[in-house]
Chain A
Amino acid sequence: MQRRTFLKRVSTASSLMALGALPAEAFYGAEELTRITIMHTNDMHSRIEPFPMDGTRYEGRGGVARRAAMITNIRKEAEHSLLLDAGDIFQGTPYFNLFGGEVEFKIMSKMGYDAATFGNHDFDGGIDGFERQMPYANFPFVISNYDFRNTILNEKTKEYLIFEKGGVKIGLTGVGIELKGMVPKSLYKETQYLDPIKNANRVAKMLKKELDCDYVICLSHLGFKYDEDKVSDHDLAAQSRDIDMIIGGHTHTFLDAPVVVKNKRKKPVIINQAGWAGIVLGRLDLVFERNKKNKCVTCQNQLIG
C-alpha cells in the first residue's frame, strides 16, 4: 500500500487518536532532532594528579578533579550523554603501584563512566589483580575479542551494551590488542585473543540487525594506525560494515579533529582518540534526525570540527 493513500484512509482514525494517548507526531513524520554527547578518554595511565610543574612537556596538564568538573559542566547542558574509556586505565604513576587500580576505578565510578574496554596495561596487576579491583568499578567492561572463559573474568565482562538515549538506541562493543608478546602470559593467563575485526563486525551486525540499534560505537585499544602490518583502528574501520564510530587508544594519539574512513559499504566511520593521561577530554556530539522517511532532511553528511 502506498503510504499517502494509507494516511488518507486513517485520517479519521488519527484525528481521534490525537485526542488519545498517542501524540500526533506518531502519525505525521515531523523531524525531531536529538543530540547525544559522547565524552571519552583513553590511556589514562593512573594519571590522578595533573603532571607536576617541573618544566616538562605536559606540566600542569591533566588531572582527574578538573576533568570531573568539566564533565559535570557538559552534563548540565547536554541532556543525553555517554562517558566512555578505551583502555589502559592502569599503570604509569605510583598510585597504581601502591593501590593496584582502586583509586582509578573509584574515581571513574564517581565521574559516572558508562563503560570501558581493556587495554594491555590493564593486565599489569595480573588478571587476578584486575578482578580484585572490579568491585570498585560501578561501570561495565565491554570487549568482543578476548575470550575470558578459562579465566577469573569469565562472565564478568560484556560483549556489547545498549544505551537508549532520547529515543536513539546506541550499541557499544569493544576490541583489545593482541596480548602475546606485549603482556607476559603469567599476567593474562588463559585469556584468548580473537580476531578483532571479525568479532567487532559480528557483534556490530547483531546490534544493528537483531537488536535494532540506530548507531554502533566500538571502543578500541588496537591503536590508531601503523606503518607495519599490525591491525589498527583504520583497518577496523575500512573492513567494517556496521560500526559507525571507533573510539580508540593505545597509540596515545592527539587528534585535532576526528578522522573519517570509508567502510565496506562506502559509508563513513568516524575515528577519534584523545591523546593520553587524561590531558584531553574527547567529545563528539551526534545529532540524530528522527523521521519516517528514508532520507534525512537536516543531514549534512559531514563532520563539523
Chain B
Amino acid sequence: MTNLRILVMLLSIAFLTTHCKPKQHLAKVESKSQEFSKDKNLSADEEIQELIEPYKKLTDQQMNRVIGEFTEEIIKAQPESTMGNFCADALYKTAKDYNGDSIAFAIQNYGGMRVPTIPGGEVTRGKMYELMPFENRMVFLDLNGKEVLRLIEHITARGGWPVSASLRYEIYNDKPIGIKIHGDALEEEKIYKIVLPDYIANGGDNLDFLTKIESRKDTDKLIRKAFIEYILEHTFAGIQVNPQLDGRISVKE
C-alpha cells in the first residue's frame, strides 16, 4: 500500500466521521398505550408482589377496619355533591363540638377530596385516607361579611366547593347571590367564625387574602380525623351516614 493510499484512507475516515455523519430521522411513531388490567392472561409479577407483601400486611391491619356505613354511594361533583356535603358537614360538626355553637359555616376545597366516589355500605378507615390523604388540620378564622363574600365569590368562580348546610346561596352568571348563613342574609360588618382546612387558610388555591386574617385559631385536629369521627358517631348511634343533596348551592338560570 502506498503512502498516498493510506493518507486518502485516513482523510476519508476523518471526513466521513465528521462531515458526513449519518443522521437519525424519525420515520414514524406508533401509539400503543395499553390498559394492562384488561389483559386477563397477564399475571402479577412475583418479585413485585413479594416486595409489597410486608407493607400490605401492615397497611391492611391499620386500614381495613370498618368504621361505619354509607346508605348510598357518595359522589364528588360541583357545585353541590353528596361527597362534598358529607365532608363539609363532618367538618362543621367537629368544629361545633370543639368550639361551642358559634360556627357560621365550614368549607372544604373541592380538589382536596381525592376520590371520585365512595360506594354505599361498609366504609373502612383506609377509605377516609383515600378521600383525604393530606395531613390538613382544622383552622378557625373570623371573617367580616365582606371577606365572607370574597371567599364565596372565589369558590363560586371555581365551580362551587363543599360548604356546610348552614350556608346557602345561588349561583347566577357565575356570581353568588342570596347568601344566607343559618337562614339570615349576609351582613357586611358582622363577624363570622368559619372553619376550614389549614391548606386554604394558608393561602392554598391562591386564597392569599386569608393569610392576612388576624383572628385565627389553629388546631391539631386533622380533617381526616373529623371525617372518621363523624362516621363513628353515626355508628355508635346505630345509624348509617346518609349525605343528601339539599340545594345549599344551586344554579339560578
A residues with CB within 8 A of B: 3, 6, 9-10, 12-14, 16-17, 22, 26-27, 29, 32-34, 45-46, 48-50, 54-57, 60-70, 72-73, 91-99, 103, 106-107, 110-111, 124, 167-169, 181-182, 184, 186, 214-215, 244, 255, 257-258, 270, 272, 274, 279-296, 298-300, 302-305
Contact = CB atoms under 8 A, between A and B. Distances in A.
Contacts of B25: 288-291, 295-296, 299
A124 to B, nearest CB: 7
Given A103-B52, A274-B33, 13 more contacts: A13-B5, A17-B9, A27-B16, A54-B119, A66-B44, A70-B36, A95-B55, A214-B24, A257-B31, A258-B29, A272-B31, A294-B23, A304-B29
B42 A9 contact: no
B27 A296 contact: yes
A68 B45 contact: yes
Contacts of A281: 33-36
B195 to A, nearest CB: 18
Contact of A70 (B8, B24, B30, B34): B34
A151 to B, nearest CB: 19
B56 A12 contact: no
Contacts of B9: 10, 13, 16-17
9 contacts: A13-B5, A22-B13, A50-B37, A57-B116, A65-B49, A288-B24, A288-B25, A298-B27, A304-B29
Interface string B86-128: 0000000000000000000000000000111111000000100
A300 B203 contact: no
B28 A290 contact: no
Interface stretch (B57-65, B141-149, B161-169, B180-188): B57-65
Given A13-B9, A299-B25, A61 B134 contact: no
A14 B129 CA distance: 69
Contacts of B21: 292
B217 interface: no
Given A107-B52, A181-B203, A290 B36 contact: no
A215 B1 CA distance: 42
Interface in B177-197: none
Interface of B: 1, 5, 8-9, 12-13, 15-16, 20-37, 39, 42-45, 47-49, 51-52, 55-56, 58-59, 62-63, 73, 114-119, 126, 129-130, 133-135, 198-199, 202-206, 208
Given A10-B12, A91-B133, A304 B31 contact: yes
Given A9-B8, A92-B130, A286 B48 contact: no
A94 B59 contact: yes
A92 B24 contact: no
A305 B55 contact: no
Contacts of B1: 16
Given A63-B37, A69-B44, A184 B29 contact: no
A141 B198 CA distance: 30
Given A184-B199, A302-B28, A94 B130 contact: yes
Given A57-B117, A290-B23, A99 B55 contact: yes
Contact of A3 (B20, B28, B59, B126): B20
Contacts of B56: 48-49
Contacts of B205: 181-182
Given A13-B8, A106-B51, A300-B27, A67 B36 contact: yes
A279 B31 contact: no
B26 A98 contact: no
B204 to A, nearest CB: 7
B24 A168 contact: yes
